[in-house]
Amino acid sequence: MKKSKSKIAFAKTTAYANAQLNQAIELHQKGRLDEAQACYESILTIHPRHFDALHLLGAIASQRKDYQAATELIAKAIAINPNSARAHYNLGVALHELKRLDEAVTSYNIAIELQPNFPTAHSNRGMALEQLGVFVSSLENKMSIELKFDVMFYDSIGVIFNDEIVAQQAIGGSEFVLWQLAHEMGRRGFKVLVQLSRHRGVQNVYQNVTYRYGAIQHPLEITHLIHHRYSDLSYIPKVTWKTRSFLCSDLWGQHYADLQNMVVPGNVVCVSPWQSAQFPAHWSVTTIANPLPMHVYESTEISRDPKVFVYASAALKGLESTLIMWQKLRSIYPELKDSRLRVLSPGYDNAAALCLTQKEGVEFVGSVPFQQVINEFRGAAGLFFVNDFPETFCITAAIAEASGARVHCWMRNGGAIRDTVNSHLVSTSEDVFIRDFRNLYKNTSNSGVARPKRYDVADIVDLWMIHFSNLSNK
């Protein structure tokens, strides 16, 4: 009888712990770290050797930059379950931040042994070895050097390109566009190379997508080469290609005047008809919108707060003008006194440096994961910004529209938003902007919102396939 009661009690506590864990993970993913930590700690009062609670408490400590506590918690978790690649990787990250590089490399090595296809572990291991002054060869990295690819993206982006960071954070930037296109093409069976010229690092492979860094070392044969934005031409002596396209994903045509002598008519790809029109008349330009991941379109019923608006940009471009307009509207209309503008930086930039001055009615949220950005849009009345830069905000505005939020924008310097985002709440003058926002604020229902226009990455890649075919037939 005692054993039976003991089993029942254990089952009840286990069920409670599992329920708490699910709740904690959900809170953790939403960035509500205090609440998540409380849930993990609650689990540990019942099960002191609970692997997930210890591991994820360590992850929270790492997020808060308390790397010493992170190493201690994650090490305890690993002592319970030494077969978790993610735990060894997270321990490596904390040790890396503490400059305990030899130990960090050991943790990354174990993570890779447990999960060979672990791009961020390979990438971080390479960086740690470089900081130790150890040369990392491709053979040492145990990955073969492929010399033929169906598609190559050549880019001079300024970040180490690993899947976890880009997938979670880099929305609104051209890095996010490239990442989605590369992975959708890889999912379809194409062999894809992403060559990032501005960093050193070790090769890593994810599914059919290979990442390489720095100068091209070996002659490559490429079917379709995509030269991303304003990257250099140092690849030319080492690469042969069947087609070459110039992807102008985040700037406007006038910035591409230096491409005049190297562009073959028909191989420039822009994100909107407005952007395409900025190029010289003799250039044949294809218009293909930037993509969004499929889960943006998942319907989640969240009650909208009519007094909350969101500003979001990977690099916070246009923030100063947006804040000036927000304060002006609040001074004109007393009913906006209780309204709030939440400033998000869904990217890899340091938002804190740009959000030091507190302003009434403004909440500087800072850098947040991609999923939190989507949830913010689903819970707010709409997106609010003044567009100082012609091509910025297109992805963020599309996310707002796809999630059912209103897009409220003043395109002060022109841009692609009006013909990229299907919203009538895109103003072309300050007076119209102020009038439209007043009407929008008074109407707290969701009626009048433009029908969402989808930018599924699968559909966007279909258009790229047509583009490749057209070039191949010329």
Residue 159, domain member (yes or no) = yes
Q: Are residues 344 and 377 in the same domain?
A: yes
Task: Check pLDDT > 70 for residue 352.
Answer: no
Residue 447, domain member (yes or no) = no
pTM for the structure as a whole: 0.70
Look up the CATH number of the domain holding residue 32: 1.25.40.10
d(CA 176, CA 291): 9
Mean pLDDT of 92-117: 88
Domain boundary among 287, 321, 347: 287
CA-based nearest residue to 214, from 269, 136, 142, 267: 136
**pLDDT tens-digit series, residues 415-472:** 777 777 777 788 888 999 998 888 877 765 544 454 667 888 999 999 999 999 999 8
DSSP conformational letter for 413: T
Look up the CATH number of the domain holding residue 372: 3.40.50.2000
Q: Are residues 120 and 152 in the same domain?
A: no
**pLDDT tens-digit series, residues 129-185:** 777 765 444 434 455 678 999 999 998 565 555 555 555 554 556 777 888 899 899
Query: Residue written as tokens 């395109």?
Result: 411
Domain boundary among 266, 287, 308: 287
Domain boundary among 105, 131, 157: 131
Cβ-defined contacts of 457-463 (< 8 Å, 24+): 457/180, 457/181, 457/184, 457/291, 457/292, 457/293, 457/294, 458/184, 458/294, 459/291, 460/180, 460/181, 460/184, 460/288, 460/289, 460/290, 460/291, 461/181, 461/184, 461/185, 461/188, 461/291, 463/288
Q: Residues 88, 107: contact at Cβ < 8 Å? A: yes
On average, the pLDDT of the chain sits at 79
Q: Are residues 167 and 203 in the same domain?
A: yes
Query: Residue written as tokens 């010493």?
Result: 68
Tell me the C-alpha to C-alpha distance, in Å, between residue 100 and each of 118, 120, 181: 21, 18, 36
Q: Are residues 170 and 119 in the same domain?
A: no
What is residue 264's predicted lDDT score, i.e. its pLDDT?
A: 64
What is residue 239's predicted lDDT score, i.e. its pLDDT?
A: 96
Residue 172, domain member (yes or no) = yes
Residue 467, domain member (yes or no) = no
Which range marks the domain in which residue 172 is found?
Answer: 148-287
CA-based nearest residue to 406, from 371, 381, 430, 370: 381
Residue 70, domain member (yes or no) = yes
Query: Residue written as tokens 């005692």?
Result: 2
DSSP conformational letter for 218: S
Pairing of strands 204-206, 209-213: antiparallel
Count of domains for the chain: 3
Instruction: Give the type of residue at 104.
Output: A
Helix axes 51-63, 85-97, angle to 10 degrees: 30
Residue 399, domain member (yes or no) = yes
Please list the alpha-helical segments (H only) found in 273-361. Answer: 273-276, 319-332
Look up the CATH number of the domain holding residue 273: 3.40.50
Q: Are residues 84 and 210 in the same domain?
A: no
Strand order in the sheet with 209-213: 204-206, 209-213, 192-196, 148-155, 220-228, 239-248, 268-270, 285-287
Q: Are residues 308 and 437 in the same domain?
A: yes
SS3 214: coil
Q: Are residues 300 and 438 in the same domain?
A: yes
